[in-house]
Amino acid sequence: MGELNQVTLEGSGTGFATTKLSELLAWARKYSLFKYPFVTACCGMEFMALSSPRFDHSRFGAEAPRFSPRQSDLLWVVGTISQRQAPVLRRVYEQMMEPKWVLAFGTCASCGGFYDNYTTVAGIDKIIPTDVYVPGCPPRPEAVIDGLLLLQDKITSGDRRPAIVKPREDPIRDLVSIGKKPSAET
Protein backbone atom coordinates (compact mmCIF):
# COMPACT_ATOMS: atom_id res chain seq x y z
CA MET A 1 0.00 0.00 0.00
CA GLY A 2 2.88 2.32 0.60
CA GLU A 3 3.64 2.48 -3.09
CA LEU A 4 0.10 3.60 -3.92
CA ASN A 5 0.50 6.77 -1.89
CA GLN A 6 3.37 7.93 -4.02
CA VAL A 7 2.54 10.36 -6.78
CA THR A 8 4.07 9.11 -10.00
CA LEU A 9 2.62 10.62 -13.11
CA GLU A 10 5.15 9.04 -15.42
CA GLY A 11 4.05 5.57 -16.44
CA SER A 12 6.26 3.15 -14.60
CA GLY A 13 7.27 -0.24 -15.81
CA THR A 14 3.89 -1.58 -14.76
CA GLY A 15 2.01 0.70 -17.16
CA PHE A 16 0.14 2.42 -14.33
CA ALA A 17 0.15 6.05 -13.27
CA THR A 18 -1.15 6.81 -9.83
CA THR A 19 -2.18 10.15 -8.37
CA LYS A 20 -4.60 11.71 -5.95
CA LEU A 21 -8.03 12.64 -7.23
CA SER A 22 -7.55 16.28 -6.24
CA GLU A 23 -4.32 16.50 -8.17
CA LEU A 24 -5.87 14.85 -11.20
CA LEU A 25 -8.71 17.37 -11.08
CA ALA A 26 -6.28 20.26 -10.69
CA TRP A 27 -4.27 18.97 -13.65
CA ALA A 28 -7.44 18.80 -15.75
CA ARG A 29 -8.67 22.18 -14.64
CA LYS A 30 -5.51 24.08 -15.24
CA TYR A 31 -5.37 23.05 -18.89
CA SER A 32 -9.03 23.74 -19.64
CA LEU A 33 -9.65 27.23 -18.29
CA PHE A 34 -12.74 28.31 -20.19
CA LYS A 35 -12.62 32.07 -20.17
CA TYR A 36 -15.22 34.74 -19.72
CA PRO A 37 -13.69 37.89 -21.24
CA PHE A 38 -15.04 41.00 -19.48
CA VAL A 39 -13.38 43.47 -21.81
CA THR A 40 -14.10 47.12 -21.11
CA ALA A 41 -11.20 49.23 -22.31
CA CYS A 42 -8.03 49.61 -24.33
CA CYS A 43 -6.38 46.54 -22.77
CA GLY A 44 -8.79 44.64 -25.01
CA MET A 45 -6.49 45.31 -27.95
CA GLU A 46 -3.68 43.53 -26.15
CA PHE A 47 -6.09 40.77 -25.25
CA MET A 48 -6.79 40.31 -28.96
CA ALA A 49 -3.05 40.11 -29.62
CA LEU A 50 -2.82 37.49 -26.90
CA SER A 51 -5.58 35.45 -28.49
CA SER A 52 -4.21 35.67 -32.02
CA PRO A 53 -1.63 33.27 -33.52
CA ARG A 54 1.55 35.12 -32.59
CA PHE A 55 1.05 34.72 -28.85
CA ASP A 56 -1.74 32.17 -28.94
CA HIS A 57 -2.90 31.47 -25.43
CA SER A 58 -4.77 28.43 -26.66
CA ARG A 59 -1.41 26.68 -26.28
CA PHE A 60 -2.15 26.69 -22.56
CA GLY A 61 -5.69 25.39 -22.84
CA ALA A 62 -7.17 28.81 -22.06
CA GLU A 63 -8.63 29.34 -25.47
CA ALA A 64 -12.34 28.64 -25.49
CA PRO A 65 -14.42 31.71 -24.66
CA ARG A 66 -17.76 31.13 -23.02
CA PHE A 67 -20.16 34.02 -23.23
CA SER A 68 -22.15 32.76 -20.33
CA PRO A 69 -20.51 33.06 -16.92
CA ARG A 70 -22.20 29.81 -15.90
CA GLN A 71 -19.99 27.84 -18.28
CA SER A 72 -16.69 29.54 -17.57
CA ASP A 73 -13.89 28.98 -15.10
CA LEU A 74 -11.71 32.03 -15.49
CA LEU A 75 -12.98 35.61 -15.47
CA TRP A 76 -10.67 37.91 -17.41
CA VAL A 77 -11.28 41.47 -16.29
CA VAL A 78 -9.66 43.43 -19.09
CA GLY A 79 -9.75 47.18 -18.59
CA THR A 80 -11.13 49.92 -16.41
CA ILE A 81 -14.16 49.14 -14.28
CA SER A 82 -16.31 52.18 -13.65
CA GLN A 83 -18.50 52.50 -10.59
CA ARG A 84 -21.49 52.06 -12.81
CA GLN A 85 -20.20 48.73 -14.16
CA ALA A 86 -19.31 47.37 -10.73
CA PRO A 87 -22.72 45.73 -10.05
CA VAL A 88 -22.55 43.99 -13.44
CA LEU A 89 -19.07 42.62 -12.80
CA ARG A 90 -20.10 41.48 -9.33
CA ARG A 91 -23.11 39.70 -10.75
CA VAL A 92 -21.11 38.02 -13.51
CA TYR A 93 -18.71 36.74 -10.86
CA GLU A 94 -21.53 35.46 -8.69
CA GLN A 95 -23.05 33.57 -11.60
CA MET A 96 -19.87 31.61 -12.28
CA MET A 97 -19.71 28.03 -11.03
CA GLU A 98 -17.12 26.93 -8.51
CA PRO A 99 -14.24 26.47 -8.88
CA LYS A 100 -13.62 29.86 -10.43
CA TRP A 101 -10.67 32.14 -10.85
CA VAL A 102 -10.26 35.83 -11.64
CA LEU A 103 -7.43 37.45 -13.55
CA ALA A 104 -7.01 41.24 -13.43
CA PHE A 105 -5.58 42.25 -16.79
CA GLY A 106 -3.73 45.57 -16.71
CA THR A 107 -3.17 48.32 -14.21
CA CYS A 108 -6.72 49.68 -14.26
CA ALA A 109 -8.28 46.36 -13.35
CA SER A 110 -5.54 45.73 -10.78
CA CYS A 111 -5.69 49.01 -8.89
CA GLY A 112 -7.51 51.63 -10.91
CA GLY A 113 -4.30 53.03 -12.37
CA PHE A 114 -4.38 56.76 -12.73
CA TYR A 115 -8.17 56.85 -12.60
CA ASP A 116 -8.36 58.02 -9.03
CA ASN A 117 -11.66 59.83 -8.84
CA TYR A 118 -15.43 59.48 -8.66
CA THR A 119 -15.75 57.40 -11.83
CA THR A 120 -13.66 54.32 -11.28
CA VAL A 121 -13.36 51.32 -9.01
CA ALA A 122 -9.76 51.43 -7.82
CA GLY A 123 -9.05 47.77 -8.51
CA ILE A 124 -11.49 44.91 -8.99
CA ASP A 125 -10.34 43.33 -5.73
CA LYS A 126 -12.44 46.01 -4.04
CA ILE A 127 -15.52 44.08 -5.20
CA ILE A 128 -14.50 40.51 -6.14
CA PRO A 129 -11.69 38.19 -5.02
CA THR A 130 -8.82 38.25 -7.49
CA ASP A 131 -6.25 35.51 -8.06
CA VAL A 132 -3.69 36.99 -10.43
CA TYR A 133 -2.80 40.60 -11.15
CA VAL A 134 -1.03 41.46 -14.39
CA PRO A 135 0.26 45.04 -14.14
CA GLY A 136 1.08 47.07 -17.22
CA CYS A 137 -0.64 49.77 -19.20
CA PRO A 138 -1.34 47.69 -21.17
CA PRO A 139 0.65 44.58 -20.21
CA ARG A 140 2.62 42.90 -22.94
CA PRO A 141 1.12 39.58 -24.05
CA GLU A 142 4.20 37.88 -22.61
CA ALA A 143 3.34 39.28 -19.19
CA VAL A 144 -0.19 37.98 -19.51
CA ILE A 145 1.12 34.55 -20.45
CA ASP A 146 3.29 34.76 -17.32
CA GLY A 147 0.10 35.52 -15.41
CA LEU A 148 -1.69 32.58 -16.95
CA LEU A 149 1.16 30.22 -16.08
CA LEU A 150 1.23 31.66 -12.58
CA LEU A 151 -2.46 30.88 -12.27
CA GLN A 152 -1.87 27.34 -13.52
CA ASP A 153 0.83 26.89 -10.87
CA LYS A 154 -1.57 28.17 -8.25
CA ILE A 155 -4.26 25.75 -9.41
CA THR A 156 -1.76 22.89 -9.14
CA SER A 157 -0.76 23.83 -5.64
CA GLY A 158 -4.25 24.76 -4.49
CA ASP A 159 -3.00 28.18 -3.37
CA ARG A 160 -5.77 30.79 -3.47
CA ARG A 161 -3.67 33.72 -2.28
CA PRO A 162 -3.47 36.60 -4.77
CA ALA A 163 -0.30 36.88 -6.81
CA ILE A 164 1.22 39.61 -8.93
CA VAL A 165 3.16 38.97 -12.13
CA LYS A 166 6.73 40.15 -11.64
CA PRO A 167 8.35 42.38 -14.22
CA ARG A 168 10.84 40.73 -16.55
CA GLU A 169 13.94 41.91 -18.27
CA ASP A 170 13.41 42.37 -21.98
CA PRO A 171 15.74 39.83 -23.65
CA ILE A 172 15.75 41.82 -26.88
CA ARG A 173 17.32 44.84 -25.22
CA ASP A 174 20.71 43.13 -24.97
CA LEU A 175 20.56 41.86 -28.53
CA VAL A 176 19.93 45.11 -30.37
CA SER A 177 22.26 48.06 -30.22
CA ILE A 178 20.04 50.69 -31.87
CA GLY A 179 20.17 53.92 -29.97
CA LYS A 180 22.86 52.69 -27.63
CA LYS A 181 26.31 54.11 -27.19
CA PRO A 182 28.98 51.59 -28.19
CA SER A 183 30.55 50.19 -25.07
CA ALA A 184 34.24 50.68 -24.31
CA GLU A 185 35.34 47.15 -25.22
CA THR A 186 34.03 47.18 -28.79
Partner 1 sequence: MSERVLQALKDKFGDKVVATHSDFGDDTAVVDPSVWRAACEFLASDAKMAFDMCTDLCGVDYPDRTPRFEVVLHLYSISKRHRVRLKTRVGDEYGDDAVVDSVVDVWKGADWLERETYDMLGIVFRGHPDLRRILMYPEFEGHPLRKDYPADKTQPLVAYREEAEAGVPLGKLAPFGPDEGMSFGRRPPVGPTEN
List contacts with partner 1 (CB under 8 A). 83-84, 86-87, 90, 107, 110-123, 125-129, 133, 135, 161-162, 164
Give least dist CB 150 to partner 1, A.
15
Instruction: Give 26 or 121: the residue with its C-beta nearer to partner 1.
Output: 121
Give least dist CB 110 to partner 1, A.
6
Instruction: Give 44 or 123: the residue with its C-beta nearer to partner 1.
Output: 123
Give least dist CB 47 to partner 1, A.
20
Give least dist CB 146 to partner 1, A.
16
Q: In sequence order, what DSSP letters do the residues of the chain get, joined into one string?
A: -GGGGS-B-S--TTS--B--HHHHHHHHHHT---EEEEE-STHHHHHHHHHSTTT-GGGGT---B-SSGGG-SEEEEES--BTTTHHHHHHHHHHSPSS-EEEEESHHHHH-TT--STTB-S-GGGTS--SEEE-SSSPPHHHHHHHHHHHHHHHHHT--S-EEPPP---GGGGT--TT-PPPS--
Instruction: Give 46 or 125: the residue with its C-beta nearer to partner 1.
Output: 125
Instruction: Give 62 or 77: the residue with its C-beta nearer to partner 1.
Output: 77
Instruction: Give 18 or 82: the residue with its C-beta nearer to partner 1.
Output: 82
Terminal-residue alpha carbon distance, the chain: 65
Give least dist CB 143 to partner 1, A.
14
